[in-house]
Amino acid sequence: MNKTLTAKASHYLNTLCNETGNRSVGSPGNIKATEFFEEIVSQSGWSIEKDRLDVMDWLPGSVILTVNGNSFTAQASPYSKGCSVEAELVPVSDIDELEAADIESKALLLYGDIAKEQLMPKNFVFYNPGSHQRIVALLEKKNPAVIICATGRNSALAGGASPFPMIEDGDFNIPSVYMTDIEGEQLLKFRGKTVKLQSTAERVDSQAYNLTASKGDAALKRIIISAHIDAKKGTPGAIDNATGVIILLLLSELLSDYTGDNRIELTPFNGEDYYGVTGQMDFIRKNDGKFSDILLNINIDGAAYFEGDTAFSFYEIPGPFREIVLDEIKKHTAVSEGPQWPQGDHSIFIQYGVPAIALSSTWFTENMEIQDITHTEKDRPEIVDISKTVQAAEIISEIVKRLSSIKQ
């Protein structure tokens, strides 16, 4: 194991998780993280493109919720507006009930069936089920004064947080808060009573940056190695996805002398865990009509968990590429081919017909439904095996070098 690289990786992990502060899009920590990325890759001679994004940052404030002198614990939904409301409590547990209910200017409690899943943000284009769109449209049409969501856990869709925010959408303008399903059951007893709800949450206009570090002529076929640099609010985001960014930073050094047949781009997407997916949308806009120039995407998300293997999964990968990757994997212990998973930026490339490889930790892909780490404060540097970031960077570096000799 390369000791210098391991020491650097540890330093990067500490910087991204302990020093910058939370890296949610548009936050001060997010801006520091992209500046840090720029500083490190510049040292190895990469050209940097820096796109400014107008985004929304958000301050959670606090929530006071009372009915008949009883207090309830709730928190503002991320990116929700604040509010000061006194209104009748109307509980609704499924979509038919929502269709029938009179909720204009009321305090709407969503519980049970309708609150089982986090609603996809209104303008999220990659995956947006009809049932979610219908709920959002009904809410906007019927216009309650505030929405109270009572939720449990849904790790597959909302990460490990419990309760999870049912609404997380800066484009949705009805104020909302969320609480545990247990708290919701207590609140349900006050159907028809007056709820007093005050939330000091605040939307803040801000900026963020989407970077591309590149090496090689623009006319060449491109290999895009990506890892999202943003994190959810409230998490140090060590596995999700500081380790991915660390692997990009190590690659900037390992590939500093690369002069192969392809153009290499290191892309720290800014927005994978953000309702507006702003960095990814910026990338798609810029690459309109140019996706056919992309030979391969390697996306890293959730890598270097201390337990289990590093997993490479394949999406529409041509045979010769696959053989190279499998051959490199074979040279290492604790690295294997893993199952496909859709919740990552590699999906964007697949949708545009670009072959992709995703790199993650087997433990996470196997425990997606039950783990309580993703998007919580438990996603800390202590659960990272830093040597796995170095190993992953070395493998990717070898793959990229060997792809140069393959004729397309």
End-to-end CA distance of the chain: 33
Strands 83-92 and 107-110: parallel
Q: Which is nearer to Zn ion, 232 or 263 (CB)?
A: 232
CB of 243 to Zn ion, least distance (A): 10
Q: Which is nearer to Zn ion, 302 or 355 (CB)?
A: 302
Q: Which two tokens stand for residue 347?
A: 């999906």
CB of 240 to Zn ion, least distance (A): 4
Q: What angle do helix axes 386-403 and 243-254 make, rounded to 10 degrees?
A: 50
Cα 5 to Cα 408: distance, rounded to the nearest angstrom: 33
Strands 70-72 and 63-67: antiparallel
Q: Which amino acid is at 380?
A: R
8 A C-beta contact, residue 352 and residue 289 = no
8 A C-beta contact, residue 306 and residue 384 = yes
Query: Can you tell me whether residue 27 is helix, strand or coil?
Result: coil
8 A C-beta contact, residue 238 and residue 9 = no
Residue matched to tokens 């998973």: 341
Cα 23 → chain centroid:
11
CB of 120 to Zn ion, least distance (A): 16
Q: Which is nearer to Zn ion, 190 or 269 (CB)?
A: 269
Q: Which amino acid is at 134?
A: R
Residue numbers at the binding site for Zn ion (CB under 5 A): 240-241, 301
Q: Which is nearer to Zn ion, 22 or 241 (CB)?
A: 241
Q: Which is nearer to Zn ion, 27 or 176 (CB)?
A: 27
CB of 272 to Zn ion, least distance (A): 5
Phi first, then psi: give them for residue 375, nearest 5 degrees. Answer: 65, 20
CB of 168 to Zn ion, least distance (A): 15
Q: Which is nearer to Zn ion, 57 or 301 (CB)?
A: 301
Partnered with residue 311 across adjacent β-strands are 336, 360
Partnered with residue 201 across adjacent β-strands are none
Q: Tell me, what DSSP letter sits at residue 241?
A: I
Q: Which two tokens stand for residue 36?
A: 């840090």
Q: Which is nearer to Zn ion, 301 or 394 (CB)?
A: 301
Q: Which is nearer to Zn ion, 115 or 229 (CB)?
A: 229
CB of 280 to Zn ion, least distance (A): 12
CB of 365 to Zn ion, least distance (A): 12
Q: Which is nearer to Zn ion, 197 or 224 (CB)?
A: 224
CB of 47 to Zn ion, least distance (A): 26
Longest CA pairwise span in the chain (Å): 74
Q: Which amino acid is at 285?
A: R
Find all residues with CB under 8 Å of 319, minimum gap 6, and list them. Answer: none
Neighbours of 141 (CB within 10 A): 8
CB of 64 to Zn ion, least distance (A): 33
